[in-house]
Structure formats: structure tokens, C-alpha cells
Amino acid sequence: MCGIVGYVGRKNAALVVLNALKRLEYRGYDSAGISVILDGSIVTSKKAGKISVLESAMDIDSLESAGTGIGHTRWATHGEPTDVNAHPHTDCTGDLVVIHNGIIENYGDLRKVLLEKGHKFISDTDTESVVHLIEHYHRDLDLIDAVVKALNRIEGTYGLVVLSKKEPDRIIAARKGSPLVLGVGTDEMIVASDASAIVEHTRDVVYLEDGEIVDVKADKYRIYDLNKNGIQKNVESINWDIESIGRHGYDHFMLKEIFEQPETIANAFRGRILPDDGNVRLDGLGFTDEDMEKIERIIFVACGTSWHAGLVAEYLIEEYAGIPVEVEYASEFRYRKPVLKKTDLVFTISQSGETADTLAALREARAKGVRVMGITNVVGSTIARESDGGVYIHAGPEIGVASTKAFTSQITVALLISMMFARKRSMSFPEANAILKGLLALPDAVKTVLSECEKVKAIAEVYCSKHNFLYLGRGINYPVALEGALKLKEISYIHAEGYPAAEMKHGPIALIDEEMPVVFIATRDEIYSKVVSNMEEVRARRGRIIAVATEGDRDIVKYADHVIYIPDVHRALVPILASVPLQLLSYYIAVLRGCDVDQPRNLAKSVTVE
Ligand code: AGP
């Protein structure tokens, strides 16, 4: 969702900000804009559409001597994605500009008051009220004091950056509910909504917390709270480099990330398996034996793909550890009155660690005195920092909006968690050993699936022009079906639904005819024969069947039009392996339909507003 950048230093600020915005493109946006200070004036360019449109409209060379600038990619909330509504927004004098992520909830009231005071508004955005409010206070106050004063009147969420032409070597940034990171360089500073825009310049960063304001110059910065008390914070180091956010020859980030999975899955379990004990270690959870014994129920809270990972975790933990599990949409959990007990344990799952609903759910659970652990990918993200403990999935930066490698790593970690609890309860060493051995061999099994990508592509060619898809699976493969359907609709805009296979006859079966491709996850397990019966029901209605099946299953060809085989692995590992061909299928269909795979319309990588 919206991206923010601010730069002060000796480089060409317009170029730095433009390139940083390109790094943030993956977050999802529909307009973009940049302001720099050039020869004592603010020069602003902003355009609806992609950054390339903005770039063509700018004469970057003419801005070469500007050393301070801000830039924004906007994902529309208030007001359509037009040039006028794009950020930065300017005050009445043209002396101040502001970029903002989040939602100003009292913008209507502020706008009314400011209009009465004679301010002129030209956009439909909530953000414009912020720049006029700062202008109002800046008439009598220094810039930082004016910003502090304005922030104290704002209700809602923000990550924002302010630039004033009167102070060409300074930017002020603030955070409440929308992430902001300060990159600390040598004679240059860069603030951004995520570290991928910063890492090219410096790996030394300060993560701002809610309610913090940073006053930035090229060689120094000061952090304050909303009462303007100074705050000392540690400079942390980003543990990945610019290389890891390149496409490395792949046509799309999504394809690169799908193909990274042998490595990312290994990264999720590396150093966490204790083969001699048939156990795992997850030090970040900080559990004592007594803590683990006390837990009577586990609740997973997440959104989207991460919620699907939570469903897989439910099957794993209930089956292997015998602990009751609930899986909740964070957006629902936060607004109902969840009945929580001290013996509950809540896990949030979030790739970005910044999803607004998941963060709010975390805070709600902690406020009720329940211990909350985070399963996140982005190190230093808000969810990681606000949790009582957690597990990083170590998948590396995920740039494609459609989550792929993060999903399989989240399931890998969920399996480790289930093993940790199971071994404290009833799981025997041989059973644990079988799963862990299978896990260690899983990266190679994923490689085998990936080597079949041309077959998946051929299937995509047959079905890419269809308008609807059904994805069906049972048991632990039901969330895999949900995830397969989500991937397809996100990036190819084909309507797709995931269902438990047996539920089909309670409604969706009415949709089946020769135009309806149905993807079955039909791996060999104890309910395989039931799934085959469901396939028969589809065939009887002339639906077209694509089956993901276990290597060696020759019977399946009698029921399916197309079969994608995956290696025969322990059934606890099947969801990870079965997800991979479904990711590939969505990818190839989207490419064949000419869709923007990495930045699908209307979607944001990290949903930081409600
Ligand atoms: C995944 O493909 C989606 N883009 C989306 O559903 C995502 O999983 C969801 O927004 C949650 O994000 P998070 O994991 O960063 O919290």
C-alpha cells in the first residue's frame, strides 16, 4: 500500500527518490508524485498511473542540483486516482508539501475549520487537510513545532513526511499506524515506508514507532514523541542486501520467488531441527516447559494467504499435538468480542508484519492479557516488534504482490510449531523422526515439482481463457485449494473459488459444465477415495479436471483430464508441495492473459489501512 520516501543529502534527490519509489512499486499504487527543492522553490510533479508515467513527465536532469526531496506512491482511499489527488499535497502558499500513508479519520472536521479560516483545497483527499493544518501552525511556530501541533489534532493513521521550502535541508517524518524507517547514511538520510527503498544507500536503520517524529538533516537526526520529548533509539542493521530484491533474470518477481522455494523452505527450518531428539527448537518463542503445558487453545489470526497458512497450522497442530486450534480473520477478530483466556496462545501470521488488521488484532489480544506470538517475514516489522515473541520465516524479501514463498515458509514454521507441541505431548520419536527426515528432504522434492513447470504451462495454455475455476481439496488440502483459488483470482482476474471437495455437492456443483475447470488436490491419503468420488461427480457433469496427485498414482488418469504429479512425501508435508504447481498454474495463466503479474490491479502488497 502507499509508499513513502524522503531524502536529504548530496545526491540528486529527484533521482534518489524516483529510484526508491520504483523499489516500492510492489506495494501497490495507482498514482505517484515527487517534490524537490530547487533554487529555493518547491518543484512538484505528480501523475495518475505508473511511475513510468511520472518519470516521462519529469525532466530529471534539470533537477540535478536538488539535494532534498520527497516522493509517494498512492493507493487511493479518499478520492479517485487522479493527478490532482496524487501526493505530494501543497499548502496555500506553495511553501509546504506533505506525503502521507494512512487515513485521517477527522479530515472532514479539519477541512471545515480550515476552509473557514480561508484555506483553499484543491483535492478530494484526506491528506490535504494535514498540509493546511501544518501551514496554519507554521505561521507562528518553527516547522517541527507546527508539525507536532498538527499531529496532536489528527485522528487516524499516518506515516508522513513534510518538506518546507524555507528549510531546504530538512525533512520531518512521523509515524502512527503506518510503517516508517529512517536510513542513516554518511552525510545523507533517507526515510521510507519500507527498507527496500533504503538498502541501496545504507543498511543502518532506525525503525520508528507509533507516536514518533523524526527531524532529519543530512548529517543528523532527532526523534521526538508527540509531546516533543526527545527519544534515543538504537540504529539497527538490515541483514539482507540489494541483490535479494532483484529479478535475477526471471520475467517476474513472482516466478523468481516461486523458484526460490527450495531455498526459502530450507531457510525456514535451518538450525531449528534437533535430529537426535526428534524435536525442534524455536528459541524466539521463549517458551518454558511449564508455559507449553499450560496452553489449552491456540488461535491463529491473519489475513489472506497468511490466513490460509493458519488453516494448515490448525490441521497440523490438532492432528499432531491434540491442542484445539481456531483460525480467525484478523479483520473480524479485532471488532468482535473474542472470548480469550489466559491459557490461550495467539499467533499472528503476517508476511509483511505490517497488515493493519493483523496488528490491531495483536494489540486487542495483548490488551486482554493473552500472550501473542508473531510469525513474520520482515525483520523489525511492527508485528514482530510488538509480539511477545515469535518466529521469523526467513523467506527473504517477497516483492510479488501474490504471496508464494512466504506461504510455504509459513507452513514450514507451522509444522515446526506443531512438532514442538506434539513432542511435549504424545508424538513418538519415530513419528517425529519420519516427519523431520521428510522435511529435510523437502527442498529437493520442491525442485522436482519445479522441474515440471513446462507441463503446468501447457495446462495453463488450455484453460487461460476460461472465466471461472473451482479448486477442491479435503482435509489438510482444503486450505491448499483456497490458496490456489486466491492466487488465480489475484493475478489473472479469473473468478475462482476454493471449497472442501465434499461441499461441492451442496451448491457449487450447479456451476459445473464443460466450461468449468476444476482443480483437485487429490494426493494419496486416507480420504483419497472420497476425493476420487468427488472427481467422478464432476466428470459426470462434463467438468474439466486438473488433478494434483501423488507420483506413481496411475489410477488417477482415469478421472482427470490433466495430472500434475508431486513426489510422495509425508502427508504433513503435502500442503507445501501441492501449493507449488498451483502457484505455477496461476502464474502462467496470468502471463498468457497479459496481466501485470507482480502488481495486479487494485492490490497492495501490504495492507496498512483497514
Ligand atoms: C497474498 O497473495 C495476498 N496478496 C494477501 O492476501 C496477503 O496474504 C494478505 O494481505 C496478508 O498480508 P501479510 O501476510 O503481509 O499480513
Distance (Å, rounded) from C-alpha 502 to C-alpha 466? 23
**CA of 606 relative to ligand 1 center, distance in Å:** 7
Q: Given phi > 0 = left and psi -120 to 50 = alpha, else beta, which region is 195?
A: alpha
Question: Is residue 261 in contact with ligand 1, taking CB distance under 6 Å?
Answer: no
Q: Is 300 within 8 Å of 327 (Cβ atoms)?
A: yes
Q: Which numbered atom of ligand 1 lies nearest the CA of 490?
A: 2
Q: Quote the cell numbers at residue 115.
A: 476552509
- In the predicted structure, residue 137 carries a pLDDT above the cut 90: yes
Percent residues over pLDDT 90 in the chain: 91
Where does the pLDDT of residue 121 fall: very low under 50, low under 70, confident under 90, or very high at 90 and above? very high
pLDDT tens digit sequence for 310-320: 999 999 999 99
- pLDDT of 610 strictly over 80: no
The band of 604, judged by pLDDT with boundaries at 50, 70 and 90, is confident
Is there an atom of ligand 1 within 6 Å of 479 CB? no
* Distance from residue 603's CA to the centre of ligand 1 (Å): 10
Cβ–ligand 1 contact at 194 (below 6 Å): no
CA of 306 to the centre of ligand 1 (A): 6
Ligand 1 pocket test, pick from 607, 608, 609 with the greatest ligand atom count within 8 Å of Cβ, gives 607
Q: How far is CA 449 from the centre of its chain?
A: 25
Tell me the C-alpha to C-alpha distance, in Å, between residue 463 and each of 189, 382, 587, 597. 50, 41, 13, 17
pLDDT, residue 243, reads 76
| Terminal Cα-to-Cα distance of the chain (whole angstroms) | 11
**pLDDT for residue 246:** 81
pTM for this one? 0.86
Coil/strand/helix, residue 263: helix
Query: What is the Å distance from ligand 1's center to 392 Cα?
Result: 16
Ligand 1 centre to CA of 598 (Å) is: 13
Please give the distance, rounded to the nearest whole angstrom, from the Cα atom of residue 303 to the centre of ligand 1. 6
Q: Residues of the chain with pLDDT > 70: what percent?
A: 100
In sequence order, what DSSP letters do the residues of 332-369 get, joined into one string?
Answer: HHTTS-----TTEEEEEEESSS--HHHHHHHHHHHHTT
Which residues are designated catalytic? 2, 605
The residue whose CA is least distant from atom 4 of ligand 1 is 402
Q: Is 351 in the pocket of ligand 1 (CB under 6 A)?
A: yes
Give the model confidence (pLDDT) of 409-461 as tens digits: 999 999 999 999 999 998 999 999 999 999 999 999 999 999 999 999 999 99
What are the tens digits of pLDDT across the range 321-331? Answer: 999 999 999 99
In ligand 1, which atom is closest to the CA atom of 605?
4
- Residue with CA closest to ligand 1 atom 10: 304
* pLDDT(496) > 90: yes
Pocket test residue of 253, 347, 355, 362 for ligand 1, highest count of atoms within 8 A of CB: 355
pLDDT tens for 45-79 read 999 999 999 999 999 889 999 999 999 999 888 88
Residue 380 confidence (pLDDT): 86
pLDDT for 73: 95
| Nearest CA residue ID for atom 16, ligand 1 | 350
| Residue 308 confidence (pLDDT) | 98
Verify whether ligand 1 is closer than 6 Å to residue 586 (CB atom). Answer: no
**Closest residue by Cα to residue 386 from 191, 197, 209:** 209
Predicted pLDDT at 247: 85
Indicate which atom in ligand 1 lies nearest the CA of residue 358: 16
Q: How confident is the model at residue 598 (pLDDT cuts 50, 70, 90)?
A: very high
Q: What pLDDT sits at residue 28?
A: 80
